Amino acid sequence: MKLLGLLVVLGVGSWAAGDDSEPRKEPSQRLLTFLSLFNGYFSSAKEVKAEKAELGYPVHDVINATFRNVFVPALPNEITFYLEEEDNGVVYRMQILVIREDELGIIRIAPYNFTDTTKYKPGQFDVTKDLENVRLEELSPTRPDCEIVFMQTDVNVFVGTFPDCTRWVDGGHPKYAFTLSCRTITALVYWGKSREKDSLLPYDHRKIVSYPLLPYVAPGAENFKPPCNCS
């Protein structure tokens, strides 16, 4: 009896060792679809090129954005993405996004600042090597009103609000309406003037590169394909 008691205690002790946050539950199909649509390198260059050709001048800026599934050793139990956004070649936002789905199926994303954007040129930050050195205490949570939220509105469509927490306008952050679908992320500035050229039409960020999800996200995640009719 005594030995059995000791074994039980040891077993529980080693399960909890070094891990004080709750283990994550398996992601739903909805979350996997969201993550795989979101996982890519996007650019509005095509839209800008078409505007120059048709009108002789651009209505939008060239915005290139990376939203990429990464593993952050400092956040081993979270699904994380690396975000890097560039406006005409200047990196203006680098964040770590912690992505969860709530009990209503709403995708909730907490952005964390972790480094100084001015130190980097587009594409210079190495998501495999450089994230290893990011420590928990360097991840600074942004304000609660920086939360990014998405809801699913159709098979491959997610619509949400994405505040620009790097800017302040009239006591608040500019807010983008994002629509994420198979080939694009469209982003409309719907409140507050943000960094880029103002336009009543959304920025149309085409997916240039699609990244696979990482195996830690779920068993077989690296082979997960969203139910799109496109490749």
Ligand X SMILES: *[C@@H]1O[C@H](CO)[C@@H](O)[C@H](O)[C@H]1NC(C)=O
How many residues make up the chain in this entry?
Answer: 231
Q: How far is the CB of 171 from ligand X (least distance, A)?
A: 14
Contact indicator for 207, 183 with CB cutoff of 8 Å: yes
Helix ranges restricted to H, the chain: 2-16, 29-38, 45-55
Among 142, 161, 199, 210, binds ligand X (CB under 6 A): 142
Dist. CA 123–CA 89, nearest whole Å: 10
* Contact flag: residue 64 with ligand X (CB under 6 A): yes
Dist. CA 83–CA 158, nearest whole Å: 18
Cα dihedral 40, 164, 159, 192 in deg (nearest 10): -140
Run of H or E residues at 36? helix 29-38
Nearest CA-CA partner of 81 in 109, 101, 106, 102:
109
* Contact flag: residue 66 with ligand X (CB under 6 A): no
Q: How far is the CB of 92 from ligand X (least distance, A)?
A: 7
Q: How many residues bind ligand X (CB under 6 A)?
A: 16
Q: How far is the CB of 167 from ligand X (least distance, A)?
A: 7
* Contact flag: residue 122 with ligand X (CB under 6 A): yes
Mask of contacts with ligand X, 78-97, x by CB under 6 A? --------x--x---x----
* Contact flag: residue 117 with ligand X (CB under 6 A): yes
Dist. CA 228–CA 231, nearest whole Å: 7
Q: Which is nearer to ligand X, 70 or 96 (CB)?
A: 96
Among 66, 113, 152, 184, binds ligand X (CB under 6 A): 113
Which parts of this chain interact with ligand X (CB under 6 A)? 43, 45, 62, 64, 86, 89, 93, 113, 117, 122, 140, 142-143, 165-166, 208
